């Protein structure tokens, strides 16, 4: 998790969002334990009550369960529940802006698909090169 916080929303909410991103990315899987409240609070230098509030939101959403004396664990079906919600949120909040930009620029579906395919093959080639020569570090522009 990133150690930086921004002022746009409360820290507990940012912490909750980071755990959600880890679940969606597959870093945390169903049945995995969440890091303890004390460890997260110490590592990120935040109040344990802040961490607890972020974790409680995950419990309230049905993504995490608290097991007395053991900690908090990712619930079965948490990732699919999140995907469903995040897809709806994207389509309702972000897609209208993206669609408007596509329309404004006059992009065709073929151009978008070609661009996506080009980016996918370029990233695959980059990861293949890194695998074949693990000692060579990639330079960033």
Encode pLDDT of 22-64 as tens digits.
Answer: 999 999 999 999 999 999 999 999 999 999 999 999 999 999 9
**For 105, what's the count of Cα atoms within 13 Å in the CB-facing half-sphere?**
11
Tell me if 23 sits within 8 A of 62, measured CB to CB: no
User: Which CATH number, 3.40.50.720, 1.10.1040.10, 3.10.129.10, 1.10.10.10, labels domain 11-76?
Assistant: 1.10.10.10
pTM over 0.75, yes/no: no
Q: Would you kindly state where each structural domain of the chain is located, as residue ranges?
A: 11-76
Other CB atoms closer than 10 Å to residue 93's CB: what's the count?
A: 9
C-alpha 11/C-alpha 63 separation (Å) is: 19
């Amino acid at each position: 998790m990133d150690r930086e916080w921004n002022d746009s929303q409360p820290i507990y909410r940012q912490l909750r969002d980071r755990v959600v991103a880890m679940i969606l990315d597959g870093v945390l899987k169903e049945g995995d334990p969440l890091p303890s409240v004390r460890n997260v609070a110490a590592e990120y230098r935040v109040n344990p009550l802040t961490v607890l509030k972020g974790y409680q939101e995950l419990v309230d959403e049905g993504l995490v369960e608290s097991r007395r004396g053991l900690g908090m664990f990712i619930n079965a079906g948490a990732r699919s529940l999140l995907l469903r919600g995040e897809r709806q949120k994207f389509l309702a909040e972000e897609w209208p802006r993206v669609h408007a930009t596509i329309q404004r620029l006059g992009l065709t579906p073929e151009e978008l698909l070609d661009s996506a395919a080009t980016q996918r093959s370029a990233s695959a080639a980059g990861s293949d090169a890194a695998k074949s020569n693990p000692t060579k570090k990639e330079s960033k522009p």
